[in-house]
Every structure is written in structure tokens, then in C-alpha cells.
Amino acid sequence: MADVVAAAHEDPGDLDRALEEWAGSVRLTLEHRVDRKDIVRFAVATGNTDPLHHDPAAARAAGYADVVAPPMFYVSLRTAVFNLVPLGELHPEGTPWRDAPPIDFTQAMAGEAVAELTRPFVAGDEVWCGRRVEGIERKTGRSGHLTFVRFEYRYDDPQGAPFAVEHFTRIFR
């Protein structure tokens, strides 16, 4: 990794190639079965006390097959599915090395996120979680280099029907 960074800063063409190679490496589709604990834990952690998110009987009475996730549940899939890597593959700041582009940075920040929500996740749903890099933009400001990486995250059922699609930008400084 360090060799790639050093080479990248010496030649902009090398940097472009390294970023392109990295973008290809983080394109993944992972299967995840949403279970009841996923939903209940998210509801508890976010302070949501609606019985539809906790009580299967209440959810069934409302027409769902099982407990239904709060609208923003997809944000936990983004991390729960893609951050599950061996301990040795975590950057010192805590997130997976593979998610960081091959550049020098000291801080990673959340940027703009735009999500389209088609239907709610229900316990028992099989979800295909897909991630790809949509674009990378480098800017230089008074605080130094900023690299904007725009990801697309898709959450579909096995037949390809969407639950949610999110376009999420991470900013590396």
C-alpha cells in the first residue's frame, strides 16, 4: 500500500491508474439475510420504540410477515455487510483498508448521501448488497488535497427488485 501511495504522488498518471484499480477492487456483491435481531438492534440503538420494529405479533397484525425495519435501516446494512473483514484488515482509524483509496489521508468524512427507498426491509428478507465506485474527484484547497469518492450501494432481493439504492460520498483529507 505504501509503495502505491509514494508512486501515485510522483506521477498523476500513476495515481489515476491506482485509483482505477482500487475502484475495481471494491466492487462487490454480498448476500445478507436480514434477521430479526438486525432490526431490533437498529431500532433500540436509534431509540425507535414503535412495536412494528420490535414485536412480530404487532408487525403481523399490521400486514407484515415479521418485524419491519425503520425507513433508514439501510444505513446499517452499508456498514454491517461491507465492514465485516478480518481484524488485521482494518485501518488504524477503524474502517477497512480496502475501502480507502490508495492515497495519503488523515481523515475520512461522510459527505452527501442520496437514497431512494422502494420498500421496507422485513425480517427474513434475503438481500443482495452491491457496491461500486461511481466516480472519484480530486480537489486541492487551502487545507490541502481532498478526494471525493462517490459510491453506489444497491440493496435488491434475489430477483433483482430493489429495496433501496444509495449514492454516498466519502471525503478523504
| Chain residues in the site for other proteins (CB under 8 A) | 35-38, 40-42, 44-48, 54, 56, 60, 62-68, 70-72, 75-80, 83-84, 90, 93-95, 107-117, 119-120, 122-126
Residue 17 Cβ vs other proteins, minimum distance, rounded to whole Å: 28
Cβ–Cβ < 8 Å for 15, 9: yes
Cβ–Cβ < 8 Å for 136, 19: yes
* Residue placing its CB nearer to other proteins in the complex, 21 or 116: 116
- Give the closest residue to 148 by CA, choosing from 96, 114, 103, 117: 103
Residue 141 Cβ vs other proteins, minimum distance, rounded to whole Å: 16
Residue 102 amino acid letter: P
Cα separation of 166 and 118, whole Å? Answer: 11
Beta strands in 10-104 (DSSP E): 28-33
Cα separation of 52 and 158, whole Å? Answer: 24
Residue 34 Cβ vs other proteins, minimum distance, rounded to whole Å: 9
Residue 173 Cβ vs other proteins, minimum distance, rounded to whole Å: 11
* Residue placing its CB nearer to other proteins in the complex, 21 or 126: 126
Residue 82 Cβ vs other proteins, minimum distance, rounded to whole Å: 9
Cβ–Cβ < 8 Å for 16, 30: no
- Terminal-residue alpha carbon distance, the chain: 17
Cβ–Cβ < 8 Å for 77, 129: yes
